[in-house]
Amino acid sequence: MSFSKNTRDFTFSRSVVHGALATYIETGQSVKNPVQCLDISIDNEEGDKWINTFGSSVIVLKSKTQLNTSTGTDGIVPGSTESNYALIEKSDFNFIYIECTTEGSSYFDCVFRKIARNGMFVLTTSDDPALYGRPPEPALRCYGGLISRTFYAPELAVRLVAAAMAR
């Protein structure tokens, strides 16, 4: 079985996301039942896994799919060909998963407006040039800070993203 580079990049993070959603459903922290999930990923594979694993505990809206895709017990999975930003603005979601290959900071405003109380937001990125620290201007523009060349630069990048989310 061959995997594309993007699939290999996200294998670990997708496993963590799946576990986080399972725990979120199990603990009952969601204000909506069933949990309303939004899957904005490269191949929408996660949304299909959630439906197969959690069944009627989740309602999944996937991006960039054909409408009326047949899976699960209901036979219909809602999908959309709208832009990701328009899709986020459609409704309040309990669980938002965004898998991007560019800068993730562009999603912060619309996600934090539409995430429900006690909701979860998961953002994975494999190639955010702003977090590499060369040149420093993208990090300053996207996240409001600079990453210097140190041995703990990855930790600085995580802290910079968390600070941007808090703002």
Contact 65, 80 (CB under 8 A): yes
User: Looking at beta carbons, which pairs linking 13-17 to residues 24 or more positions away fall under 8 Å?
Assistant: 13/99, 13/124, 14/45, 14/46, 14/99, 14/124, 17/46, 17/97, 17/122, 17/124
Q: In the predicted model, what is the mean pLDDT of residues 133-155? A: 69
- Statement to judge: residues 107 and 141 lie in one domain: no
- Statement to judge: residues 30 and 111 lie in one domain: yes
- Statement to judge: residues 38 and 72 lie in one domain: yes
- Statement to judge: residues 102 and 27 lie in one domain: yes
- For the chain, the domain total comes to 2
**In the chain, pLDDT over 90 holds for what percent of residues?**
7
Q: Give the pLDDT confidence score for residue 75 in this predicted structure.
A: 44
Identity at 102, one-letter amino acid code: T
CATH number at residue 96: 3.40.50.150
Q: In the predicted model, what is the mean pLDDT of residues 116-132? A: 75
- Statement to judge: residues 79 and 55 lie in one domain: yes
Q: Give the pLDDT confidence score for residue 128 in this predicted structure.
A: 62
- Statement to judge: residues 66 and 30 lie in one domain: yes
- Statement to judge: residues 110 and 154 lie in one domain: no
Read off the pLDDT of residues 7-58 as tens digits, 9 standing for 90 and up: 556 678 788 888 999 999 999 888 888 899 988 887 778 888 999 999 889 9
Element (H, E) at 160: helix 153-166
**Statement: residue 6 has pLDDT above 70:** no
- Statement to judge: residues 48 and 120 lie in one domain: yes
Comparing 128 with 142, the larger pLDDT belongs to: 142
- Statement to judge: residues 82 and 144 lie in one domain: no
**Statement: residue 67 has pLDDT above 70:** no
- Statement to judge: residues 66 and 119 lie in one domain: yes
Comparing 65 with 17, the larger pLDDT belongs to: 17
Residues paired with residue 80 on neighbouring β-strands, in sequence order: 63
Q: Give the pLDDT confidence score for residue 95 in this predicted structure.
A: 92
Q: Which domain holds residue 19?
A: 5-127
Q: Which pTM does this prediction carry?
A: 0.71
15's tokens: 């496993």
- Statement to judge: residues 76 and 155 lie in one domain: no
- Statement to judge: residues 122 and 137 lie in one domain: no
**3-class secondary structure for 70-129?**
CCCCCCCECEECCCHHHHHHCCCEEEEEEEECCCCHHHHHHHHHHEEEEEEEEEEECCCH
